[in-house]
């Protein structure tokens, strides 16, 4: 069992959905990213998604695009992100997923990336721009070092594509809550419950929902139907608002704690 599988199993046993916060590695700095990771774990994170900054993040909305720009300007690259994971792993067994585009990994070298990611303590890798048909270029290297390939599906994916994604994936199946790019939204998609049910029936893996979830009420609504809840842009916005200050990690912990608590299912 991987740390990711353990995280979902433990959350389920406690009557809650897994809480999966997302932050961009290197925003506002690599040192703060390590502090924020520990803060999110204290807040109740089950799995941490670390975004690898990329210059052309086509799946990301303005919030995460600006975070990537700040991280790149601070000198963040894939090698340094892996070093951050190693630092986190010294003190934590929190499950960690890298959220990345294919380009940085291909440039780094797929086999080299897989080996160094596993050695640093990464548990899974999610490629935002690699469909199931193209995972043949990445999956063997990931699986050879026991990294879970996390697959994305969307509201427009039919059951066949969801099954294919689940078959080629590991850890959990990431269901995008709505069409479009990342970013906090006022309301959840009215078809979300139906889409989650379809994904769960198509998948042998837990189903986590992300994109547009930003408040405890929204988290609670998603936690009632899904196995995991991803909150990204809302946390990234908080980091941007606070800036690179000594108290940043504590304030992120305070912001994230109610989100984690909202993952508890109401019986």
What angle is formed at CA 265 by the lines to CA 203 and CA 89, rounded to 5 degrees? 70
Place of tokens 């990994």: 105
In the chain, how long is the greatest CA-to-CA distance? 49
Predicted local distance difference test score (pLDDT) of residue 191: 87
Predicted local distance difference test score (pLDDT) of residue 179: 60
- For the record, the structure tokens of 208 come out as 């986590």
Going by C-alpha positions, the residue among 11, 16, 14, 20 that lies closest to residue 174 is: 20
Q: Give pTM, 2 decimals.
A: 0.94
Classify residue 160 by burial, with Cβ atoms within 10 Å: 0-12, 13-18, 19+.
Answer: exposed
Contact 110, 135 (CB under 8 A): no
Going by C-alpha positions, the residue among 76, 75, 79, 85 that lies closest to residue 50 is: 85
The CA distances from residue 108 to 77, 105, 112, 197, 226, in Å, are 10, 5, 7, 37, 34
The three-class DSSP label of residue 200 is helix
Predicted local distance difference test score (pLDDT) of residue 61: 83
The three-class DSSP label of residue 145 is coil
Predicted local distance difference test score (pLDDT) of residue 6: 97
Predicted local distance difference test score (pLDDT) of residue 183: 46
Domain 3-261 belongs in CATH node 1.10.645.10 = no
Predicted local distance difference test score (pLDDT) of residue 187: 63
Contact 188, 212 (CB under 8 A): yes
Going by C-alpha positions, the residue among 36, 103, 15 that lies closest to residue 244 is: 36
- In tens digits, what is the pLDDT along the chain, a chain of 267 residues? 699 999 999 999 999 999 999 999 999 999 999 999 999 999 999 999 999 999 987 777 889 999 999 999 999 999 999 999 999 999 999 999 999 999 999 999 999 999 999 999 999 999 999 999 999 999 999 999 999 999 999 998 988 999 999 999 999 999 998 765 454 455 677 789 999 999 999 999 999 999 989 999 999 999 999 999 999 999 999 999 999 998 999 999 999 999 999 999 976
Residues tagged active-site: 49, 60
In the beta sheet, which residues pair with residue 23? 50
* Sign (positive or negative) of CA dihedral 123, 170, 138, 125: negative
Q: Where are the domains of the chain?
A: 3-261
In the beta sheet, which residues pair with residue 124? 97, 148
């Amino acid at each position: 069992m991987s740390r990711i599988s353990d995280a979902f199993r433990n959350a389920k046993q406690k009557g809650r959905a897994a809480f999966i916060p997302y932050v961009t590695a290197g925003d506002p700095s690599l040192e703060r990213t390590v502090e924020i990771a520990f803060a999110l774990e204290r807040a109740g994170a089950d799995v941490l998604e670390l975004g690898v900054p990329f210059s052309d993040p086509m799946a990301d909305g303005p919030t995460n695009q600006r975070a990537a720009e700040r991280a790149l300007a601070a000198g963040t690259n894939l090698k340094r992100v892996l070093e951050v994971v190693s630092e986190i792993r010294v003190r934590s067994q929190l499950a960690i997923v890298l959220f990345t585009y294919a380009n940085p990994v291909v440039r780094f070298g797929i086999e080299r990336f897989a080996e160094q990611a596993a050695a640093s303590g990464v548990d899974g890798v999610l490629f935002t721009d690699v469909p199931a048909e193209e995972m043949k270029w990445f999956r063997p290297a990931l699986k050879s070092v026991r990294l879970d390939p996390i697959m994305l599906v969307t509201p427009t994916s039919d059951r066949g594509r969801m099954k294919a994604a689940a078959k080629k994936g590991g850890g959990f199946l990431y269901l995008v809550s709505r069409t479009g790019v990342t970013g906090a939204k006022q309301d959840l998609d009215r078809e979300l419950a139906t889409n989650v049910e379809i994904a769960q029936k198509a998948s042998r893996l837990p189903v986590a929902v992300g994109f547009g979830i930003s408040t405890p009420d929204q988290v609670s609504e998603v936690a009632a139907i899904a196995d995991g809840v991803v909150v990204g842009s809302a946390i990234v916005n908080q980091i941007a608002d606070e800036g690179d200050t000594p108290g940043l990690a504590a304030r992120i912990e305070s912001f994230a704690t109610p989100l984690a608590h909202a993952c508890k299912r109401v019986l």
